[in-house]
Chain A
Amino acid sequence: MPGLASDPGDSLVPFPPDVRDPVVYPVRHGVNAPIFRVYVSWTRGNLLQVACLRPPEADPAGGEEDEVSDEEIGGKIVEVKLGAGDGEISEAQRRRIAYGSVPAFALLQSRKNSLAAMSRMSASSIRTEWWEHVLDYSHHISDLLGNPMLPSSTVIEDPETVMQPHEEPTRLKAAWQLMEIFYVDKLSLTWLPERLVDWLADYDSLLTRTETTIHSKLAGLQKRLVNLQVVEDDPEYWEVMSLALAVGWLDTVVKLLRLHGSYQLDQLGSRETENGLVEAVAVLVSTMPRMRPHLPTGRLGQCYKTKPEFIKAWEKWRGHISKLDSSAFWVQCSHRQTREGLRNLLQIMLGKVSNLTSATCHWMELFISHFLYIRPFTMGLEGFHSLSQKCMQLRPSSSSSGLMCLLIGILGENPEVVLAECSKTFGPWMVVHAMELLTADNGHADILLHEERYNLGDISIEELHRLVYAQVLSSHPLTWQIAPTYLASCPKQGLGLLEILLYKQPVQHYQMILKNLEICRLYELENISSSIMKIAGTYHWKHGRKGSGVYWLQQARDEVRLNKIAQQLFEYIGKSISDDSFKQWEGLIELLGSQVGTAGGLEFLHKYRDFKRSLQQVQDGSSVDAARQTMESLIQLMKNPSTPQRFWLPLLHDSVKLLHWKAQPLLTVSETNLLLNKLQELSMAKLCPDFCEPNLPPEALSSVRLALATNLGRAILEEC
């Protein structure tokens, strides 16, 4: 197949062989070689459109070749989805996270804005509690990224299940938690090392993809455990136990210890000392003092809140360990593996560096073991950083994952690196939402992110990333509606991009238009909404949905287009004037409403309909008042400048019968004169080349003139 990364010479489009880690997307075009042209263009989102064309047939297809061309298509367009992710989080899941983070983000922004307004009045006291708001936000987002680990709450526990089966942790959540620990959570500042211990317990499996971790070793043992007859003979049993102890998974260690053969009833008698030692170690492990306020259920250790209390307990505990280490019972323990294994555990608990180093796989694990057994009071990022450097030297890692780079960035107090890693490994969603954590209580990062930069077009880094994320959101038809939330938080370019986004939305379906207009309403973008309504109106008018077209243009108060439309409509109506088919216009005319000014030239239609209707009534029964009223509306229509000239004669012709009203003349002298003037104007207009002849009998003009003249005569007599 062409285009394989292994042989760049064979590909359709050559690429330099020295490109590092090219990502190859197979294009299943199914077009037979030779391929003549390849066109590549962007479509929506991260979709690439690839058109593969065969050379045009030199000889136009004959009868026989027709069959061939059925099989051999001349070309094909395929869509290639780029960057389908690392597979850890599906697109649907990504969208779910995007939806879920909107309310939290919006709430945080509004709190920020109201705090900013308040701080103008009272200066400092507010800043102190800001991190609590960010912590709320962070917890909310964190919940979205995956369910919290299930605590081991099952009533009947399988003693051989040393690992709690739980949902696969995600790198995204691991990274989020890491940032929360270091940047936001002020409550846990005093027990930061222990928080990292917890973090590692949850996410150890994500430290590296290629190398072994304690988690992978433990998983390996878990699989074998069922088939092991005598666990204590197995070197892996002891190894895994030391590994788990080194990173503080005390419950796992104790569980494993209790699997020791000496606990079995039939052996208890003969291995009494051995069992005593195992149990003694198990007790020591489970009573390890921990410098933290509380432990999650199922985790072992004894919590101490204050440093003096902890030191006292710690010294006492170490004393116990040393005592046990130097006790005489070891000599009586005949089982070599047990003896060595247990003593190794004791050395780990005493914090012997060589034992710790050999009891860890990854530098991060070594790092954690130092906190647990050597330096439980490590404070400040500087201390963390130097320790991490030391651990990296002791346990060099050949590959570095994004997660570890992020941690190094955090420890090195390097917000640029943190941002870059967030962006590179976790994408725009992470950057935008993690920036809030980064700036929660960090002046340096705050300045870095909020400073307006000339090279970014005078926007800040924060705004830049929000704009990028909003672009990603607006490229998908299901997420574009949440992009405005982020654009609204961009002070410089946000509104402009929002306007472009709103303009770009399709107007085919009224629900979409209305959703679009709702966003305009929320952000008070009246001019955009009227533009959208104009676009929609024109679209529907062009597609034959005249009612919708008029409706939208009316909503947009677009006089100009409504007048144009009116001219077109009059063409239709002019032809079917005295016809019954006028009835079908009823609905549209109803829509236009009777008030002046909302329908442009179309208001004429409404008046015209009213006139027609009263004319009908007069013809049915004949009261003088009704006839008089009809004539009044005729005068109104003739006076109105929006009445098109071409309707003058038909209107007058329709009312000839009323002009001959037997009982009395219905028009006064001045009114008759007005109509005669109009008639005169009409005769003049007839000379113009663009005059359009109404569809009336040829004698219409003369009969109207005669009727008016008669009426004038009668009116003069009447008024005398």
Chain B
Amino acid sequence: MARSGDLHFHRFPQSKSVDAVRWLSPFSAFDRFAAAAVHDPDTASSALEIHSLTVDAANPKSPLLHLCSFWSSPSRISSLRSSQTSHKHLVAAAATLSGSLHLLFVDPVEGSIDSELSIADDHSLHAGPISAVDLQAGGQACVSVGEDGRVNLVTVGEARLDHQRVHDSRGLVSYMAARWASPAEFATGGLGFGVQWWDQRKPGGLVSQFKGNWARGSLTGMVHSIDIHPSRKHICVVGGSSGTVFAWDLRSQQQPILLSGVSLNGTTQPISESEVWEVQYDSYTHSSNINSTSSTRILPIMMCSEDGILAVLEQGEEPIELLAENSAINAFDVDPQNPSDVICGLEWESIGILTRSRETVARY
């Protein structure tokens, strides 16, 4: 196991289940906001909470999380993404288990929720739960996918949301993950480690698909999360069942690069054997390889898992374990502005903030 540098981790108990967490990209360095999707089964209430993160100058190692505002959701939130808009707002897209989609516009200074646009859960968008939603950079469009096999494109209008169906497999295929690659292209993932690449400009939308054939028999699983780096749009990094993290390069489609998980020949030692709930590029960890600028090399990736692991993976390197919690880490987000900071949603009703100090950089 590689060294993980100097880490500070703070847990903020929430007294309700934390289902998803996202940083809201701030406009100034002073206001840092994070959105958390919470659910309280005792009162059967769900909400999106906007927290502000403040760091006391006297005690920089113990940040404070303060609830600024919240929005009651009609149903439990299953997926959450955030972005900036051109209208000087932070926007969060929340999809629910009942199939509704909500866009919340957050004031970048106050952290208050100014307005909301939504599509109701009347089965027009999805029949049943939405499993994933992704918001385009700029917050102009959303893609939503569900277990019902629909792929929807939602465009954000002046005062309303419009949606069109890109594809409907009528339940024959289920999708669990979605991620934009460019304003026209996005990737989805689902059962059997399947990944699909869609291009809105092409008729039918589906351009190519990858099936997790290398994982045979019981080793197949679901895709839970996809990330695509803005500078390497041809590579999808995918996290899924049995500790599997792999990269799918559109240019060599049938040969995925296994970054973690059990491969056929069993050479790779997985850092985790349980569900990898989320993967994201970690721009904080600098690649140790000088040649990493080559476009075939996979940049460092952060992943979180059901058995409480938060780790950074790199092609051909030992994984760096950042956290080994007693409870599952269901979600995390690397702060795009301050990539040293990571927010996590922990199974045991708490939000965690991980700060990595500068010494870690000096190592390289």
Contacts and interface: CB of A to CB of B under 8 A. Distances in A.
Contacts of A521: 273-274
A514 B306 contact: yes
A509 B211 CA distance: 23
A142 to B, nearest CB: 18
A591 B191 contact: yes
A518 B192 contact: no
B314 interface: no
Contacts of B128: 543, 545
B15 interface: yes
B218 interface: yes
A545 B349 contact: no
Contact of B211 (A477, A481, A590): A590
B172 A547 contact: yes
B357 interface: no
A598 B220 CA distance: 11
Contact of A478 (B190, B192, B275, B349): B349
Contacts of A547: 149, 169, 171-174, 190-191
B97 A584 contact: no
Interface in A67-105: 90-93, 95-96, 99, 102-103
Contact of A546 (B41, B171, B275): B171
A200 B86 CA distance: 62
Interface residues of A, number: 38
A558 to B, nearest CB: 13
A518 B347 contact: no
Contacts of B41: 476-478
Given A95-B349, A514-B241, A587-B169, A595 B216 contact: yes
Contact of B347 (A481, A514, A546): A481
B209 interface: yes
A165 interface: no
A585 interface: yes
A251 B211 CA distance: 74
A545 B149 contact: yes
Nearest to B305: A518
Contact of B192 (A543, A584, A593): A593
Contacts of A598: 217
A545 B174 contact: yes
Nearest to A515: B306
A532 to B, nearest CB: 14
Interface residues of B, number: 46
B275 A518 contact: yes
Interface string B290-322: 000000000000000011000000000000000
Interface string B162-196: 00000001111110100000000000001110100
B17 interface: yes
Contacts of B339: none
Interface string B225-262: 00000000000000001000000000000000000000
A555 interface: yes
A270 B170 CA distance: 99
B173 A544 contact: no
Contacts of B275: 514-515, 518
Contact of A584 (B15, B172, B190, B218): B172
B42 interface: yes
B169 A518 contact: no
Contact of B147 (A95, A548, A585, A587): A548
Interface string B114-149: 000000000000011101000000000000000111
A551 interface: yes
Contacts of A546: 170-172
A296 to B, nearest CB: 24
Contacts of A691: none
Nearest to B146: A545
A15 interface: no
A201 to B, nearest CB: 28
Contact of A590 (B127, B131, B209, B222): B209
Contacts of A523: none
B192 A545 contact: no
B326 interface: yes
A92 B14 CA distance: 8
B227 to A, nearest CB: 19
Interface of B: 13, 15-17, 41-42, 78, 97, 127-129, 131, 147-149, 169-174, 176, 190-192, 194, 209, 211, 213, 216-218, 220, 222, 241, 273-275, 306-307, 326-328, 347-349
| 8 closest residue pairs by CB, A with B | A92-B15, A587-B173, A99-B348, A588-B172, A477-B41, A545-B171, A551-B191, A547-B173
23 contacts: A91-B42, A92-B13, A92-B15, A478-B41, A514-B306, A515-B306, A540-B147, A544-B170, A544-B171, A545-B128, A545-B149, A546-B170, A547-B172, A548-B147, A548-B171, A551-B174, A590-B211, A591-B173, A591-B192, A591-B194, A591-B211, A593-B220, A598-B217
Given A540-B147, A547-B190, 9 more contacts: A478-B16, A508-B129, A543-B128, A544-B170, A546-B171, A584-B172, A587-B172, A588-B173, A595-B217
